[in-house]
Chain A
Amino acid sequence: MRRVSTRALVVAGVLVALLLAGVGSYYASSSPDGLDRVAQDKGFARTERPHAADDSPLAGYDTEGVRNRRVSGGLAGVAGSLVVLALASGLALAVRRRAAGRDAEQRDLAERPGG
């Protein structure tokens, strides 16, 4: 089997994620999740306070101004995925250990007298 390149794997994986968030999410269950269910059953859901970001254009995974529920949720999912992709990739690139060659180069520069 031909080895799949990292780039091909990441692109394919991101496409799958976009498909899940953009299309699949419409078919997700809208029932309360485990915590919400317990909060309702045990009577502490009432202490929930409104969210400060409730007027965000994407609040509740719906896109403001888009009437069609399928499109509204799909757009929100795709937008969120892309924001997460950008932030997490940026963070990983900033934190990562650079290739050994470049590291040595930087050390050399730092250790150079007067440099």
Chain B
Amino acid sequence: MHVPDGFLDATTSMATGAVAVAAVGVALRGARRELDDRAAPLAGLVATFVFATQMLNFPVGAGTSGHLLGGALAAILVGPFTGLLCLSVVLLVQCLLFADGGITALGTNIDLMGVVTVAVGWLVFRALQRVLPKRLSSVAPAAAVGAFVSVPAAALCFTGLYAVGGQAEIPLGTLAAAMVGWHLIIGLGEAVITGLAVASIVAVRPDLVYGARRVLRTRALEVRTADGATG
């Protein structure tokens, strides 16, 4: 979903750039609360995994492909603020080294593939956590649903930006329908990859998964009660 140079006008690109700078600034402060000595190495892994997986375009039919965006995955594994930092590093490297995603569109891409997918993925995940059983086995499915929703949400936000600053006259309704339509299918791929990746880490080291912390805390309390009863 990398927006190239020339899709959006200069004013819109500057505005999205300003939003991206502000968001990364907030994330730099917020990430401090999420990252300790134990969790920090995982952030490097998450960014690397998102970069690698974004290279793996999967076919979604009719000569079209999609790739992982990764915001939901990153948010659930390392926390939303750190997740946005990971995505921003990936998008910066893709833009400068690989000419993927326009330089004037870097802010737009950080907003769409970073801020929107992280925020939507995380909020949907947290909402599901409130209603699902507080078990480790709920973490990966909730992550997958958050990931699924995050992709059409980013597509819809692109449509909104295009309505404001698009460089061609495109009827909005048809643009929204086309963008959301394709990205609902791509979202299924996002859900599968995110679910598998989160499930793998939950299986070996649930304590390192940011989105599993609340579940583990509940469990720890139960253990302490049992200890008190036997001791």
Interface residues of A (CB under 8 A from B): 3-4, 6-7, 9-10, 13-14, 16-18, 20-21, 24-25, 28-35, 37-39, 41-44, 46-54, 56, 58-61, 76-77, 79-81, 83-89, 91-93, 95-99
Contacts and interface: CB of A to CB of B under 8 A. Distances in A.
A35 B3 contact: yes
Contacts of B40: 89, 92-93, 96
A34 B55 contact: no
A13 B103 CA distance: 30
A34 B155 contact: yes
B64 A34 contact: yes
Contact of B99 (A43, A47, A56): A56
Nearest to A87: B89
Contacts, number: 232
Nearest to A11: B45
- Which 10 residue pairs are nearest across A and B when measured between Cβ atoms? A89-B44, A88-B47, A49-B6, A92-B43, A21-B52, A29-B65, A34-B182, A44-B168, A96-B35, A17-B52
Interface of B: 1-7, 28, 31-33, 35-49, 51-53, 55-60, 62-67, 82, 85-86, 89-90, 92-100, 102-103, 155, 158, 162, 166-168, 170, 174-175, 178-179, 182-183, 186, 201, 204-205, 208
Nearest to B8: A47
A91 B99 CA distance: 23
A24 B210 CA distance: 28
B103 A51 contact: yes
Contact of B98 (A20, A24, A59): A59
